[in-house]
Amino acid sequence: MELTGRVVALTGAAHGIGAAMARRFAAEGAAGVVVSDVDAGGAARVAAEITAAGGRAVAVTADATSKKDLKALVATARAEFGRIDVFCANAGAAFGTGVHAADEQWQRSWEINVMQHVHAAQAVLPSMLARGEGYLLITASGAGLLGIPGDAPYSVTKHAAVGLAEWLAITYRPRGVRVSALCPLGVRTALLEPGIAAGHPAALAIAAAAPLIDPEDVAEAVVRGLGAEEFLILPHESVRESFARKAGAVDAWIDEMAVGG
């Protein structure tokens, strides 16, 4: 999937990884970028930056957990640019809580880290399948492959996000729709840095697992991964080795993670 001339829509694109991807896609020559976020002002700023740099972008206020909002987002993209070639379901949430997290935190984690991707697929697949091409990028996490101590809802739902991406890839690749799961570890964003500063075990474990990278580094990895149509896009290459090591010796991996936690 080359991005030149493509129309890309993103959720969670007002800040961090989403904003970096939106800017990078525009720089790669995207025909249009739909910047969506629950933060209307942030989405508008990113879209304005892209437009000022000579790209085409529109901002949409959308709650990524809302099926209605995602349908409206897709409708806006079609009205502005005619279609969506690449949909990046990127919004995410972490609470830094264990198995005894409040029911509301478990539910919110499920809604944003899993059901967002379900609703996005439901919204964009019909038109992609009709054209016989399209791309879904699901932002999961290295925690969805390796696990992470200290945050049960995040680890569990990110595993589910990877599982959903795999199912979508198996089901729809024969019909021309590609799917990738983006699985970074530590990235300098507002989702991680406050936890590191507070000394939270999950944030510290992620920071210790691999060097922190910038959102722009993730965007670079995404461009490469989409170009190669890789299922797993791993901005931290160490995740690939760790994932293989885990698969080869699961009990040893659990012992290692338990000591680290």
Bridge partners of 178, per DSSP, are 135
Strand-strand pairing, 86-89 and 7-10:
parallel
Report CA-CA distances (Å) from 259 to 35, 139, 256. 41, 28, 5
Task: Mark whether 154 is an active-site residue.
Answer: yes
Q: Kind and range of the H or E element at 179?
A: strand 177-182
Rounded Cα gap, residues 161 and 255, in angstroms = 25
199/227: higher pLDDT: 227
Q: Which residues contact 253 (CB under 8 A, 6 or more apart)?
A: 245, 246
Indicate the pTM of the whole model.
Answer: 0.92
> What token pair was written down for 39?
């933060």
| Average pLDDT score over the chain | 92
Catalytic position from the list 69, 154, 161, 168: 154
Q: How far is CA 153 from the centre of its chain?
A: 16
Instruction: Give Cα separations from 112 to 12, 85, 117, 209 (angstroms).
Output: 10, 22, 8, 24
Dump pLDDT digits (tens) for 171-220: 999 999 999 999 998 888 776 666 666 666 666 677 776 788 899 999 99
Domain spans in the chain, listed from the N-terminal domain onward: 7-260
Q: What is the C-alpha to C-alpha distance for residues 100 and 105, in angstroms, rounded to an integer?
A: 10
Average pLDDT over residues 85-109: 91
What is the strand order of the sheet 57-61 is part of?
57-61, 32-37, 7-10, 86-89, 134-139, 177-182, 232-233
Top-confidence residue, 259 or 63: 63
| pLDDT score for 151 | 85
The CATH fold assigned to 7-260 is Rossmann fold (3.40.50)
